[in-house]
Structure 1
Amino acid sequence: MCMVIFAPLFAIFAFATCGGYTGQLRVSVDCMERTNSNLSIAIDFGYPFRLHQVWFEAPLCEGMRRERLFLIGDFSSSAEFFVTIAVFAFLYSLMATVVYIFFQNKYRENNRGPLIDFVVTVVFSFMWLVSSSAWAKALSDVKVATDPDEVQDLMSACKVMTNKCGSVQGPRWSGLNTSVVFGFLNFVLWAGNIWFVFKETGWHKGGAVRYPGGTTEKQPGTCNQQSYNQGSFDQSGGSYSGQGDLEQASEYSQVGGPTSYSNQM
Structure 2
Amino acid sequence: MMTGFRLNLSPLKEPLGFVKLVEWLTAIFAFGSCGGFSGRNVLSFFCGDSRNETLSANYHYPFRLSQVPLIEGNTTICNHSVSTTYMVGDSASSSEFFVGIAVICFLYSMLALLVYLGYMHVYKDSDFGPIFDFLITAILVFLWLVCSSAWAKGLQNVKDATDTDGLSATLALCKGSNITCEVTEFANMRTLNISVVFGYLNMFVWAGNAWFVYKETRWHSQKVTSQSGHGRQQVPAPI
Q: Choose 83-92 or 202-211, whichever is displaced more.
A: 202-211
In 2, are the aligned partners of 1:114 and 1:200 still within 8 Å (CA)? yes
- In the alignment, structure 1 segments of 5+ residues that lack a partner are 230-265
Aligned to 1:197: 213
Q: Which has the bigger relative contact order, CA under 8 A and spacing at least 6?
A: 2
8 Å Cα contact 1:25-1:148 kept in structure 2: no
Q: Deviations over 1:126-148 (max 9, x none)?
A: 11011101111111111101113
Task: Give the superposed CA RMSD.
Answer: 2.1
Alpha-carbon distance in structure 1 between the residues aligned to 2:69 and 2:41:
12
Mapped contact 1:79–1:138 kept (Cα < 8 A): yes
User: What does residue 206 of structure 1 align with?
Assistant: 222
Question: For each residue in 1:207-242, what CA deviation from the matched residue of structure 2 results, as whole angstroms up to 9, or x when unmatched?
Answer: 2223444566934xx34xx3xx4xxxxxxxxxxxxx
Shift of 1:191: 0.4
Structure with higher helix content? 1
Q: Does 1:13 align with 2:29?
A: yes
Number of aligned residues: 220
| Counterpart position of 1:151 | 167
Task: Give the 3 Å change call, closer, same or farther, for CA 214–30 of structure 1 in structure 2.
Answer: closer
Q: Which has the larger radius of gyration?
A: 1
Q: Greater CA deviation, 134-143 or 147-156?
A: 147-156
1:25-52 deviation per Cα after TM superposition (whole angstroms, max 9, x unaligned): 1112244568xx7722111111111111
Tell me what 1:80 maps to: 96
Name the counterpart of 1:45.
Answer: 59
Tell me which of 130, 133, 140 is aligned to 1:117. 133
Q: Distance in 2 between matches of 1:56 and 1:215?
A: 72
1:106 — aligned with what? 122
Return the TM-score normalized by structure 1: 0.76
What does residue 157 of structure 2 align with? 141
Give, in whole Å, the separation in 2 of the partners of 1:112 and 1:166.
60
- Structure 1 distance, partners of 2:67, 2:227, is 64
1:140 and 1:161 map into 2 onto residues whose CA distance is: 29
Aligned residues of 1:60 and 1:67 also touching (Cα < 8 A): no
CA positional deviation for 1:153: 3.0
Inter-partner Cα distance in structure 1 for 2:64 and 2:57: 13
Corresponding residue SS for 1:139: helix
CA apart distance, 1:3: 1.4
Runs of 4+ in 1 over 6 A off after TM superposition: none
Counterpart CA distance in 1 for 2:134 and 2:181 is 57
1:27 and 2:43 correspond: yes
Match of 1:131 among 112, 137, 147: 147
Say if 1:85 and 1:127, in contact at 8 Å, map to a contact too.
yes
